């Protein structure tokens, strides 16, 4: 790669489970709400202006439903990968998020729910994927439609930080976060 790889990380639009306050993780079938579809359309317009050369999405429904207007606005085909999925929360998925504040150890990057994935595992998965992408980029500017925790992990990886230093703030639904990976 001759120069930096620019990533445009799109967080999926609001899903039905976001609206209901349920832990989603890697639950595959959760669709967008009407607001989520509007957020996806706004992100699509922002992407079109940024002119990415490739569009890659998580294979979870809420990300795919966000990627579809992005594909229409950019004229790009959607490539999917499970590497861009949200952090898996195992047995906690589908439960009200407010009930989990005292269950999840948010301070320990190695903690994982039964059948789930720790922040450290998420960070490693995202790091591996971004290394592969940087080694053989499909374009100089790549749009990635993904999830909040996955974006936070990508931000840490791009900054050379470990899972314990992931940003605390999750980007809003339908937002576009710009990152550069240096070769």
User: How is the chain split into domains, by residue range?
Assistant: 5-181
Q: Quick check: is 12 catalytic?
A: yes
Residue 102: predicted pLDDT: 86
Distances (CA, A) of 50 to 1, 9, 47, 61, 113: 20, 12, 5, 24, 38
> Which pair of tokens denotes residue 100?
């989990």
Q: Residue 89 — left, alpha, or beta (φ > 0 → left; ψ -120 to 50 → alpha)?
A: alpha
Q: Give 143's strand partners.
A: 8, 55
Q: Quick check: is 147 catalytic?
A: no
The answer to whether residue 182 scores a pLDDT higher than 90 is no
* Spatial separation of the C-alpha atoms in residues 183 and 49, rounded to whole Å: 25
Residue 106: predicted pLDDT: 80
Q: What pLDDT, in 10s, does the model give residues 51-105?
A: 999 999 999 999 999 999 999 999 999 999 999 999 999 999 999 999 998 888 8
Set 12, 93, 117, 123: catalytic member: 12
Q: What pLDDT, in 10s, does the model give residues 123-176?
A: 999 999 999 999 999 999 999 999 999 999 999 999 999 999 999 999 999 999
Q: Residue 23 — left, alpha, or beta (φ > 0 → left; ψ -120 to 50 → alpha)?
A: beta
Q: What is the DSSP letter of 79?
A: E
The third-level CATH classification (topology) of the domain covering 5-181 is Rossmann fold (3.40.50)
Residue 2: predicted pLDDT: 59
pLDDT band (50, 70, 90) for residue 183: low
Set 86, 93, 123, 147: catalytic member: 86
Model-level pTM?
A: 0.96
Find the mean pLDDT for residues 105-118.
Answer: 93
């Amino acid at each position: 790669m001759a120069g930096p790889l620019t990533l445009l990380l799109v967080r999926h639009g609001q899903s039905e489970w976001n609206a209901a306050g349920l832990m989603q993780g890697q639950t595959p079938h959760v669709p967008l709400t009407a607001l989520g579809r509007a957020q996806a359309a706004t992100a699509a317009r922002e992407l079109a202006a940024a002119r990415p050369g490739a569009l890659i999405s998580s294979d979870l429904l809420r990300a795919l439903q966000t990627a579809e207007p992005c594909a229409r606005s950019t004229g790009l085909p959607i490539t999917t990968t499970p590497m861009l999925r949200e952090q898996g929360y195992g047995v906690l998925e589908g439960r009200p998020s407010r009930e989990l504040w005292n269950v999840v150890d948010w301070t320990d990057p190695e903690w994982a729910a039964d059948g789930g994935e720790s922040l450290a595992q998420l960070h490693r998965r995202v790091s591996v994927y971004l290394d592969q992408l940087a080694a053989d980029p499909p374009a100089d500017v790549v749009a990635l439609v993904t999830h909040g925790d996955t974006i936070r992990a990508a931000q840490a990886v791009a900054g050379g930080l470990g899972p314990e230093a992931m940003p605390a703030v999750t980007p809003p639904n339908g937002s576009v976060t710009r990152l550069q990976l240096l070769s």
